[in-house]
Each structure stands twice: as structure tokens, then as C-alpha cells.
Chains A and B, each alone.
Chain A
Amino acid sequence: MSTIGQSVRRTEAPNKVTGRAKYNADTHVPGTLWAHLAVSSEAHAKILGIDRDNAMTMAGVKAIVTGDDVSLLCGEVLEDRPPLAKSKVRYYGEPIALVVATGEAEAILAALAIQVDYQKLPVVHTPLEAMSSDAPLIHEDLGHYVIAQPPISPQPGTNIADVVKLRKGDMNVGWKSSAVSIEGNFTLPSIDHAAMETRSAKVEILHDGRVIVHTTTQAPFEVQKLLSQYFGIKQGKVIVNAPLVGGAFGGKATVQLEILAYLASKAVGGRLVQLVNSREQDFKTSPVGTGLQAKIKLGATRQGKLTAAELTFWVDVGAYTDSSPRMARAITSDCTGPYRVDHVHCDTYCLYTNHTYATAYRGFGHMPMTFCIERAMDKLANALSIDPLQLRRLNAIQPGQTTPTGVTLNLSRLGNLDACIDRMNDLVTKPPGQVTRVAPHRVRATGVSCFWKTSSSPPDASSGAIITFNQEGSMNLSTGTVEFGAGTKTTSAQILAERMDMSIEDIHVHTHINTKVDPEHWKTVASLSTFMVGRAVLDAADDAISQLKSLAAVVLRCAPTDLAVGQGRVFIKDDPTMNVAFKDIVHGYQYPEGNAIGGQVIGRGTYIVRHLSPLNPDDGQGRPGPAWTVGCQAVEVELDTSDGTYEILRAMTVVDIGRLINPKGALGMVMGGMCQGLGYGSREAVRYDALGRLVTDQFRTYRTMRMGEQPNYQVDFIETPQIDAPYGARAVGEHGVLAIPSALANALARAAGVEIDSLPATPEAIWRLGTEVQA
């Protein structure tokens, strides 16, 4: 029986639900030293002095490292970030000193005893403030930083870390052919990944030069590469272990604590040191998800056909760039949303502010980008008096048309957005433009939004898979993806089971990653695992099958082409009764008299993305990803118009998933994303006070959706295969989150009769907008 399309239980689920699964900070080796960070209490200040004398004399303290002891700048794209602040601090919570002590308590107390003398500098609070010509300069040395991974265009003497330009068509033609235009300004806050497991890293430097790392990461191979590069260690000497990760959402794709834990270990002669973020430090010291400001102008014909889009995004990268320049390109690539627009002008700026620095967050910039474009689409629907779903259907991008970056789409690359919208039209039951009064002060409305996303991975991202066999004939599968709840291990097991035509019970997946033995997968990000790892697994399976057939051909005295595999056997196609079991050949075949031939079967497989190209710096043309995933989402609310309070009744998603490999797995993934999107839309925000100090450093103040606040979720799938993907399955890991915040805002805006162009859409915000409308 085929396992594709079956709801298979996640391989790691039994241990997770019984509490037996071990995360990075759950295991403790006796003799481990503890590191703890002293962090900045200012958002922007010169460091005049750091007094560690008192702290050094405290019980259990082994070493204290500060920025003065380290000569290093880090950054995935631009090397602009000292691991420990040097001469100045650029955000509240920035690491200043690293204490290493015999125990956690000793390290915490010593970190508290470190005194820092600051000279305060004016604070940059928003990306638009950062753009201003008289804004305080956050990086005086911007012109001297090393570019680690082009492209990036820093503008020395400003706070502009990067600018991305996209030009498609001719704006004059676009505006001339439009009859109606609308404009919107949008402001979205930074958000936190808020994973259940806080980040942690353990590092030991052995006397033979090996560096052993255990860390909470989505990118173990990136950790290996960067530690090797930053500290001049041969890559083979850096061994990174990535156990199960307790939620990541992009926030563990960055490399931060690993560098600090290495410095800590080095300061104590290479002893094993562990650095574990408290919840507060996970909020304020480690990176957040990006906020942005945007201005969008859309033009359309009287009938509602889009003719022109002019977009500017000002991305709040915070104090350091990290992956933001790549994210800015991802935003730019898909800036129009999944609509045909022939004339597009988009500028995306990455701006330094004195906020916590940003990194990837589920959707890689697409959630805030989608919010802006989808709010703009609703404004256009209002201006044209067209039903919002119809307007989207009218403009939905089609095979044969081109994306903003000039990629010509076909059905395999794009999927079927029309089908998603039509299915959503059935689900919403009432036209989304309609507001229904259910009580004197209570109205119901539905908001809709569409999304699309491609991967924006590097053009040389690659993946590998290795299959070994146990003597009983069952298989071990080793890949480079980290399991953080997305079910990638289970999906790859299903893909292997399908190709081998055997039970998934006989596939044993290597859950923990060790960079020394597991084949590299670029990073477990960008919803690419099923595609890239799946392709590598199929390649490895084919390799193993060919070896099995070669050996079985000898045993069964036939040509390999006469053979097929299935149910743990190699058999002759036209007479399956003539067969040999895997267990008799996977570790070599032994003749009755004792001679043996063959040897172990080891399958190897690889995949490298093809035909991708970076965006051209002049016009943004290029191919950012192998394929897109499209979908349509809706949220139904009931609003109390007198005070802005509301209830989220229903949230709906229709997504073209290509091919459903694990239906319940996909359902959980999409619903989880929808919940996260509702949190972002309604309550989540990283907030700073007037001095730029982060004030939401606990779940008391950083609000997420709680159990009991979930609406009714409806998820439906369209299946338009992506031909080059394993069994046609499209990327879906991030997508559930993308258009939910805008769908919520569209619903609330209709219900309240106001323009909700910033988030979170709290009752107070809706009330305030309502009072402004009345005034």
C-alpha cells in the first residue's frame, strides 16, 4: 500500500508526548561550566568602561570575557556584529560580557555584579526615523565592513544597510492605463519567535583541536562553517550536533550563542561550557522577527485589472543585518502578491535602528509584505466597489505570466490560485464584502487575502541523503534536516518507503544531526526540506535499488533490468515467486557453501537546486526559487462596534499543496501557522519604551494565542503537482501564517469601517481608529 497520502504519525511523536524527548539543555554532563551574559541596559550608548573586578572575585567565577578581548565581526551577509559589544551598544539586551563559572547561579550573580559605564546616545526608534538625514548614525564604520555573502549595497554615512531595487515594465504606461489608484501606508512591529525551547549552546574544545558543539539550531552546517571561518579552525575539526529542536520559526537559523559559547570555552582552556538563554534573554538578546514600514500605491482599470504597483518597504533590521538583506530580496521578489502586474517599481531598504536585530521568521518577510499588499488590495476593492474575493480572482497570476523578477511561470512552478480562490468562495458562504449586523452593537464580517511564496534560497543550496541497511533488511536514513516540529523526518521516511515499496515501520530515520556523519542540508528553512531532502532521498533510494538489483541479478541469475524491489525483496518482475529478501543481500550474499559476494548496500543521494540566480542589482530581475506555493485565506470576526472588542469566529485556508504526502501532518502545519498568524494580527508585538528599551521580555507582556482562544479552523487543499518535486509535493511549512494577519485586518476593517494599516489590531486600536473617523 502506498504511504504517500497516508496520515503517518510523526516519528518523534511518542517520545515528545511522553516527555522522553531530550532537547539540548536537557542533558547535563558533570563538570560542565556555565556561561551567563551581562547585557546592555541601554539601547544606544558608548561604552566608557566595563568594571569586572568585583565579579572576578566572586565564588565560582572562572573567566569573564568582554568585547575588548575579542577581535571579531560576525554576520551571515555583512560582518557588522561583534559577538560582544565593542566600544558601543546598539540595542537593549546586547551581550556585553560573558561570565564563565562553576554553576549557573554563580554565573548569574557575577554577571549582575559587572558594572558598565555608558554615555547615552540618541536612539533611532523606527525605520523611517533611520532614513532621516539627521538621524544618529548607528554604524559609523559601515563602509569598512566585510561583505560575507553578496549581494548587499550598504550606504556608508547613513543607516541604510542595504537597498534592493526592482523595475518591471514601464510605470508611465502603468499609471496611464489605470483609471483608479489607491495608496496606503503601513507599520508593522517586530515580533518574537517565542519558541517553547529557548536557545542554548554547549561548546568544548578538545586537546586534539576538535571543537564539539551541541546547539539549538536550524542550521548546523552553517554553525560549522562560520565557527571554522571566524576562528580559523579546519572545518572537519568542528563537529556540530543538533538534537530535537523545540520550535524554531526561523529564529534558530541564525548563529549567535554558538559563537559566544566557543569564546567562553576558549577562555577556560577549552572546557565544556553551556550557555542557555533565560526566557527574558531569549526575548531581548537573541534576534527577533522583522518589523517594517511600507508605502504602496496600486493602479487599476475601472474593471479592476491591476496596471501598476509602486512599493517601498523600509525594513527594520534592528542593530545588525544578520539575514535581513536576503529577506529584503525575498520581500522584493514577491512584492506584488500573487497577482499579475505588468508595471512594478519597488524599493526595499534595510535600515539600522536601535531595536533588537532581526532574523528570519516563518515566511521570511512574506507575512508583513503580504499584510501590506493585501490591505492595499482591499482598499482597491473598496475604491472600485468590487467584491474583495472577485478582485483577487480577476488579478490572480496565471501560468505564462511573469513574476516581478521576470520568471515566466507554468502550472508546475505556480500551482492553481484560481482553484484556491474558487474553493474559498464556497467556504466563506457569504460574500466577504458583506457586513452582517447580529445585534445592536455587534457585526460580523469576513476578510480574505491571498499569498504566494518561493524559497529565496542561495542558488547553490544542496542536500544529501545516505541509506544504510540493518541485517534484518530494514533501512536507516540519514539526512541533514533538523527536526523542530515540521515533520521533515517523517516526510522523508514516507518518500523513501514509497520509492522502496516497503512499510514505513521499516524505515529508521536518524533524528539528531551530527555534521560529521550526516550529509549536509543547506539549512532547515524556507519550507524547502520536503523538496530538497526528498529529491536527495529519492536519489539515494535509486542508488540503493540499483545496488540491490546488481547483486540480486547474480543470485537470481538474470539481468538487473529483469528485477524490481518491493516489500523488502528483490524479485523478477514477471515471476515474483523468484525473489531474494533484503536481509539475504544487504550485507552481502552468502552461498550455501560459505563463499560471500557483494558487501553492504549503502545508498547515496544528492540534490542541488537548479537554474536559480541572484537578483540583478539594477532592476531586481532573477530567479529566486524553484517554485511557488499559492493559497487563499480568510478570517471571520464578530466585532462589538461600541468598544472595539471582537471574537475570531473562523479562520480558513485553501492552499495548493501540489500533492498531499501526510494529510494530518500538513493540516497541523497549516493550522499551526494560522494560529501564529492570528497571534501576530491580534496581539503580538515586541515593544520598546521611549528610551528604546525592550519591555516585552516575558509572556506576561509578550502575548501569544492561548489554548481556548482558537477559532474554528477550516483547511482545504488543492493538488496541482510540482513536477520536479518528490511526488509533486509543494512547500507548505511556512505558508499557513502568511495571509492570516491581513485577512484578520481586512475583516476587522470592514466590520469597524476603519482602515487598519498597522498591527496588532487590538480592540483599543480599533476603537481609536473609530473615534478618529467620527472626529
Chain B
Amino acid sequence: MIPFSFEYHRADSLEEAALVYQQIQASGQKPIYYGGGTEILTMARLAQIHFDAVIDIKQIPQCQRLERADDAIVFGAGVSLDRIGQANLWPLLSQAGARVADHSVRCKITLGGNLAGTLPYREVALPFMLFSSDAHGLVFGPGGSRDVPFKELFNGQLNLRPGEFLVELRVAQFAAEVPALSVKKTRLDWVDYPLFTVAMVRVNSEIRVAFSGVTGCPFISDAINRTLSAAASWDDRAQSAVAHISDSVVDDLHGSAKYRRFLLTRTLADMLAKIEE
């Protein structure tokens, strides 16, 4: 059980959410924004986080958008990973999201929650990182709304100002039309934390790759992308790419750094073969 009491607020509009947040804070208490709740509830159970109130933002209509608009695709931050997969507006995002946790949990975890959580994996960021010049986020907070290029919004974790929350992410429609792959590797089980997740796209002859689970947080590297786009065999390119990842490869319960490097090299080579077929 969660051993402490807290208030639950359900906001019906962006303005209401930000206002309630400020009011609670002004009274000397600690509010947090609440999406699917999977991480908040499990951490609260173990008293690993503390808060006085949660503000549930996922039902706010702007957080529930899941549609094509003009030349973009819009994903509300409050949409569950399961719904994103069902709608499948961007297959690469569906794929990346489909391997987070298990099905029951994906029916709860939201796009915003996966990005804002404390677990370092944040797999749904990967597709957006691959199109960072063509992806934007809308955030809302005490100062109103801001439209932020994805590159500024996310560098391994969400960059939000105090009191702000993510409303939606947008990506240019063409992102859904290029060859793309997302691969997750685990210690053994289909459902488990990742050894790593890799998302790859090919835009004309250019290969772009974003990684999660390899080092601390998701990352993308121009140097690695250049290496992978160069003219060389799949194996050679994969090896050079992994050689660029210097010393901070994760070594944990799920797998050693050495095995991750080995498996990553092999996975990249396989993905290159597939995407360049």
C-alpha cells in the first residue's frame, strides 16, 4: 500500500492544471503531474518518492490528441502507448512503444509519462530524436504555452521549466514514410528491461540511429550517424559505430557492458542489412 495520503486532482483544461499546480505549491505543498501513474504508484508504494497531491492531466482534450493535422502527426502526451500502437499513425513509434513493459502496463503508460519518468530508457523518445529538426513539442505551464523544438525539449530527459508539463509531440508526416526499424534486446525474456533499444531510419542514403539503454539515457550522435552512413560493409560500419561509444556502456543486472557492445554491434549490422535491402 501507499503509506501516505495525498490529494487527487483531475484537470479538465491546460489552464486548470497549471493553476491547481500553482495553488498547491503556494500552500507549501508538493504537487506532481500525473499521467498513467504506473511509476508514481509503484515508487510511492516503496516510499521512494513523496508528494502531497497529484494533478491528473491525461484527460485534458489537448493531451488526448492522436491525429494527422496538416503535414504533421500529433501525439497527445496523455495517450497510452497501447493506443498509439492501435492507431499506428507512425509505425516506428508504435514499434518502440510496443516493447515497453507488458500489455497491461502499456494500457496505462502514456507518451508523456514514458518521457518524464525516472527510468532511464524513455524508448518513445527515440523516433522523435531521429527527426529532431522536424519534431516539436508543446508544453504548458504557469507562463502559458510554449512550442519547443524536440532537440531543445529532450536531451536524454525532458527539459521543462518548473510547473510545466508536456501537452503533445508533433512530427512531420514524412517521418512516417521512410524506411524505419526499432529493435529491443533483453537478457532473455520478451518482457523485461532492455539491454538496449535501437531505432534506425534511412532518409535517402543517410542512416540515423538513436539508442536507449546503452548508456544512461537515450542518445543520438552525429558521428555515429556519419559512420553508419559511410560506404563500407554492414559489419564494418556497425563496428566503427560501436567503437564511437566510449566508456559509459551500462553494466548491470540485465547484462554486462561487454555483452551489450557485442550484441549492439551485431544488432546494428543486422538492422543495416535490413534497412538497406
Tell whether, in the assembled complex, residue B253 and residue A108 are in contact, meaning their CB atoms are under 8 Å apart: no
Q: How far is the CB of B262 from chain A (nearest CB, A)?
A: 7
Tell whether, in the assembled complex, residue A767 and residue B262 are in contact, meaning their CB atoms are under 8 Å apart: yes
User: For the complex, is B232 an interface residue (Cβ under 8 Å from A)?
Assistant: no
Q: How far is the CB of B38 from chain A (nearest CB, A)?
A: 12
Tell whether, in the assembled complex, residue B187 and residue A764 are in contact, meaning their CB atoms are under 8 Å apart: yes
Stretch of B19-27, B163-171, B189-197 with 4 or more beta carbons under 8 angstroms from chain A: B189-197
Q: Chain A: which residue is nearest B262 at the CB level? A: A767
Residues of B within 8 A of A561 (CB): none
Q: Chain B: which residue is nearest A700 at the CB level? A: B193
Interchain CB contact (< 8 A) of B189 among A104, A706, A764: A706
Tell whether, in the assembled complex, residue B253 and residue A764 are in contact, meaning their CB atoms are under 8 Å apart: no
Tell whether, in the assembled complex, residue B1 and residue A708 are in contact, meaning their CB atoms are under 8 Å apart: no
Tell whether, in the assembled complex, residue A108 and residue B47 are in contact, meaning their CB atoms are under 8 Å apart: yes
Tell whether, in the assembled complex, residue B187 and residue A642 are in contact, meaning their CB atoms are under 8 Å apart: no
Q: Chain A: which residue is nearest B2 at the CB level? A: A105
Residues of A within 8 A of B255 (CB): 764
User: For the complex, is A126 an interface residue (Cβ under 8 Å from B)?
Assistant: no
Q: Chain B: which residue is nearest A760 at the CB level? A: B188
How many chain B residues touch A (CB < 8 A): the figure is 21
Residues of B within 8 A of A645 (CB): 188
Interchain CB contact (< 8 A) of B1 among A105, A280, A642, A768: A105
Tell whether, in the assembled complex, residue B187 and residue A762 are in contact, meaning their CB atoms are under 8 Å apart: yes
Interchain CB contact (< 8 A) of B253 among A106, A280, A682, A696: A696
Which residues of A (617-645) have their CB < 8 Å from a CB of B?
642-643, 645
Which residues of B (165-202) have their CB < 8 Å from a CB of A?
187-193
Cα A768 to Cα B192 in complex, Å, equals: 21
Interchain CB contact (< 8 A) of B256 among A108, A109, A764: A764
Q: Chain B: which residue is nearest A703 at the CB level? A: B189
Which residues of B (250-268) have their CB < 8 Å from a CB of A?
253, 255-256, 259, 262-263, 266
Residues of B within 8 A of A237 (CB): none
User: For the complex, is A709 an interface residue (Cβ under 8 Å from B)?
Assistant: yes
Q: Chain A: which residue is nearest B256 at the CB level? A: A764
With contact pairs A280-B46, A767-B262 given, residues A683 and B188 touching in the complex (Cβ less than 8 Å):
yes
User: For the complex, is B162 an interface residue (Cβ under 8 Å from A)?
Assistant: no
Cα A695 to Cα B252 in complex, Å, equals: 11
User: For the complex, is A431 an interface residue (Cβ under 8 Å from B)?
Assistant: no
Residues of B within 8 A of A763 (CB): 187-188
Residues of A within 8 A of B4 (CB): 105, 109
With contact pairs A104-B3, A105-B3, A687-B253 given, residues A708 and B266 touching in the complex (Cβ less than 8 Å):
no
Residues of A within 8 A of B259 (CB): 764, 767-768
With contact pairs A109-B4, A642-B266, A643-B262 given, residues A706 and B191 touching in the complex (Cβ less than 8 Å):
yes
Cα A767 to Cα B263 in complex, Å, equals: 10
Interchain CB contact (< 8 A) of A104 among B1, B47, B263: B1
Q: Chain B: which residue is nearest A646 at the CB level? A: B188
Interface string of A690-721 (1 = CB under 8 A from B): 00000110001101001011000000000000
Interface of B is mostly: loop
Tell whether, in the assembled complex, residue A709 and residue B263 are in contact, meaning their CB atoms are under 8 Å apart: no
Residues of A within 8 A of B253 (CB): 687, 695-696, 701
Q: How far is the CB of A103 from chain B (nearest CB, A)?
A: 9
Residues of B within 8 A of A148 (CB): none
Residues of A within 8 A of B266 (CB): 642-643
Cα A104 to Cα B1 in complex, Å, equals: 8
Cα A105 to Cα B45 in complex, Å, equals: 10
User: For the complex, is A206 an interface residue (Cβ under 8 Å from B)?
Assistant: no
Q: Chain B: which residue is nearest A280 at the CB level? A: B46
Residues of A within 8 A of B192 (CB): 703
Cα A687 to Cα B192 in complex, Å, equals: 16
User: For the complex, is A13 an interface residue (Cβ under 8 Å from B)?
Assistant: no
Interface string of B209-226 (1 = CB under 8 A from A): 000000000000000000
Q: How far is the CB of A763 from chain B (nearest CB, A)?
A: 6
User: For the complex, is A597 an interface residue (Cβ under 8 Å from B)?
Assistant: no
Residues of A within 8 A of B5 (CB): 105
Tell whether, in the assembled complex, residue B188 and residue A108 are in contact, meaning their CB atoms are under 8 Å apart: no
Residues of B within 8 A of A700 (CB): 193
Which residues of A (745-775) have their CB < 8 Å from a CB of B?
762-764, 767-768
Residues of A within 8 A of B47 (CB): 108-109, 112
Q: How far is the CB of B217 from chain A (nearest CB, A)?
A: 19
Q: How far is the CB of A692 from chain B (nearest CB, A)?
A: 15
Residues of B within 8 A of A106 (CB): 3
Residues of A within 8 A of B191 (CB): 706
Residues of A within 8 A of B188 (CB): 645, 682-683, 703, 762-763
Q: How far is the CB of A72 from chain B (nearest CB, A)?
A: 29
Q: How far is the CB of A32 from chain B (nearest CB, A)?
A: 15
Interface string of B48-69 (1 = CB under 8 A from A): 0000000000000000000000
Residues of B within 8 A of A762 (CB): 187-188
Q: Chain B: which residue is nearest A36 at the CB level? A: B3
Interchain CB contact (< 8 A) of A708 among B2, B187, B190: B190
Q: Chain B: which residue is nearest A105 at the CB level? A: B3
Which residues of B (67-116) have their CB < 8 Å from a CB of A?
none
Q: How far is the CB of B98 from chain A (nearest CB, A)?
A: 15
Q: How far is the CB of B104 from chain A (nearest CB, A)?
A: 12
Cα A104 to Cα B253 in complex, Å, equals: 32
Residues of B within 8 A of A709 (CB): 189-190
Residues of B within 8 A of A280 (CB): 46
With contact pairs A108-B1, A764-B256 given, residues A683 and B187 touching in the complex (Cβ less than 8 Å):
yes
Cα A768 to Cα B47 in complex, Å, equals: 38
Q: Chain A: which residue is nearest B260 at the CB level? A: A764
Q: How far is the CB of B185 from chain A (nearest CB, A)?
A: 9
Interface string of A25-69 (1 = CB under 8 A from B): 000000000000000000000000000000000000000000000
Interface string of B235-256 (1 = CB under 8 A from A): 0000000000000000001011
Residues of B within 8 A of A104 (CB): 1, 3
Q: How far is the CB of B64 from chain A (nearest CB, A)?
A: 29
Cα A656 to Cα B54 in complex, Å, equals: 59
Cα A280 to Cα B5 in complex, Å, equals: 21
Q: How far is the CB of A717 from chain B (nearest CB, A)?
A: 31
Q: Chain B: which residue is nearest A111 at the CB level? A: B3
Q: Chain A: which residue is nearest B189 at the CB level? A: A703
Q: How far is the CB of B132 from chain A (nearest CB, A)?
A: 31
Q: How far is the CB of A681 from chain B (nearest CB, A)?
A: 11
Residues of A within 8 A of B1 (CB): 104-105, 108
Interchain CB contact (< 8 A) of A108 among B3, B187, B190: B3
Given contacts A112-B3, A280-B46, A763-B187, 6 further A-B contacts (CB under 8 A): A106-B3, A108-B3, A683-B188, A683-B189, A764-B259, A767-B259
The 4 A-B pairs at the shortest CB distance, nearest first, are namely A108-B3, A105-B3, A764-B259, A109-B3
Question: 13 A-B Cβ contacts within 8 A?
Answer: A104-B1, A105-B4, A106-B3, A108-B1, A109-B47, A642-B266, A683-B187, A706-B189, A706-B190, A709-B189, A763-B188, A767-B262, A768-B259
Spell out A's residues near B (CB within 8 Å). 104-106, 108-109, 112, 280, 642-643, 645, 682-683, 687, 695-696, 700-701, 703, 706, 708-709, 762-764, 767-768
